[in-house]
């Protein structure tokens, strides 16, 4: 292997950075309740103008909730675009204006699973599918979890959330299932693997829950 090719980019440069190529026109095709379909005409480095289709999305949050036995909480939800019942993390849209991301994640953990947590950290940030949407997600690690008394919950589950089983599974088993192709949701796979990696130092290297997004 050519060592010069290996050295073309210094390892210290392996960090995502903001960049915006010139857009000469933008066409909105539809605007739905959550997403908007757009085509931008983008100037490439060789000066050719090409169309790029993508979905504008408000963003999302998700929660890896770990109990004191090292188990992760998963919920099962029907996802119509892929025609599957998927095991997922509690998650939701960034659809409350001005709501801090951790507060949104805590709300989703309460509404979808009926739990609260006392200890929060930022686990991982990701673009869910950057070739076709601008959606960005922040996945939190939540520990010191406890069930919310039934009388304190006022969220009504409807539609896909009307029958959403909750299960606690050992984190190592969740990793095995993700690697075996038994868990497919991208937030779940990223969160499970990130939590497993972060457990190596007892989660000491994780960012605080209010860490800024780059």
Residue 40 covered by a domain: yes
Asked if residue 188 belongs to a domain, the reply is yes
Is 7 part of any domain?
no
Query: Can you give the pLDDT at residue 197?
Result: 98
Query: Are 29 and 45 contained in the same domain?
Result: yes
Indicate if 136 and 183 belong to the same structural domain.
yes
Whether this prediction's pTM lies above 0.85 is answered by yes
pLDDT at residue 171 in the model: 98
pLDDT at res. 156: 65
Q: What is the pLDDT of residue 161?
A: 61
75 domain residue, yes or no = yes
Question: Cα dist. 194→71, 186, 200 in Å?
Answer: 14, 12, 10
In a domain, 189, yes or no: yes
d(CA 30, CA 5): 44
The verdict on 132 and 28 lying in the same domain is: no
Between the alpha carbon of residue 106 and those of residues 64, 103, 170, 187, the distances in Å are 11, 5, 21, 16
Would you name the residues annotated as active-site residues?
161
Q: Which domain holds residue 37?
A: 20-56
Sign of CA dihedral 198, 57, 86, 78: positive
Based on the fold, state whether residues 38 and 51 are members of the same structural domain: yes
pLDDT at 1: 47
Shared-domain flag, residues 146 and 40: no
Of 56, 81, 104, the position where a domain reaches its end is 56
Q: Which residues of the chain have pLDDT under 70?
A: 1-7, 155-162
Query: How many domains does the chain divide into?
Result: 2
Residue 41 belongs to a domain = yes
End residue of a domain, out of 8, 32, 56: 56
Query: Residue 143's CB: how many other CB atoms inside 10 A?
Result: 15
DSSP 128: S
| Closest C-alpha among 140, 142, 204, 196 to residue 171 | 196
In a domain, 15, yes or no: no
Let me know if residue 13 belongs to a domain: no
Instruction: Give, to the nearest 10 degrees, the angle between helix 171-179 and helix 186-198.
Output: 130
Half-sphere exposure of 190 (CA within 13 A, CB side): 20
For residues 84 and 182, state if they share a domain: yes
Q: Which residues contact 34 (CB under 8 A, 6 or more apart)?
A: 57, 58, 93, 95
Query: Are 198 and 172 in a shared domain?
Result: yes
pLDDT at 117: 98
Instruction: Could you list the beta-strand ranges (E) of 49-186.
Output: 49-56, 60-65, 71-79, 84-88, 91-93, 115-127, 136-147, 166-170
């Amino acid at each position: 292997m050519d060592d010069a090719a290996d050295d073309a980019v210094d390892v210290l440069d392996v960090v995502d950075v903001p960049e915006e190529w010139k857009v000469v026109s933008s066409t909105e095709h539809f605007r739905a309740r959550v997403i908007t379909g757009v085509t931008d005409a983008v100037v490439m480095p060789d000066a050719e103008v090409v169309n790029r289709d993508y979905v504008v999305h408000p963003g999302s949050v998700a929660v890896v909730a770990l109990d004191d036995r090292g188990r992760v909480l998963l919920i099962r939800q029907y996802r119509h675009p892929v025609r599957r019942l998927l095991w997922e993390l509690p998650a939701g849209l960034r659809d409350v204006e001005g709501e801090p991301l951790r507060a949104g994640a805590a709300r989703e953990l309460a509404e979808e699973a009926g739990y609260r947590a006392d200890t929060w950290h930022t686990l991982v940030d990701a673009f869910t599918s950057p070739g076709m949407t601008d959606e960005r997600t922040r996945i939190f690690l939540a520990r010191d979890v406890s069930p919310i008394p039934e009388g304190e919950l006022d969220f009504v589950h409807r539609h896909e959330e009307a029958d959403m089983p909750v299960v606690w599974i050992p984190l190592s088993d969740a990793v095995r299932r993700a690697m075996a192709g038994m868990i497919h949701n991208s937030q779940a796979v990223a969160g499970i693997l990130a939590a497993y990696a972060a457990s190596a130092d007892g989660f000491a290297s994780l960012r605080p829950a209010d860490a800024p997004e780059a």
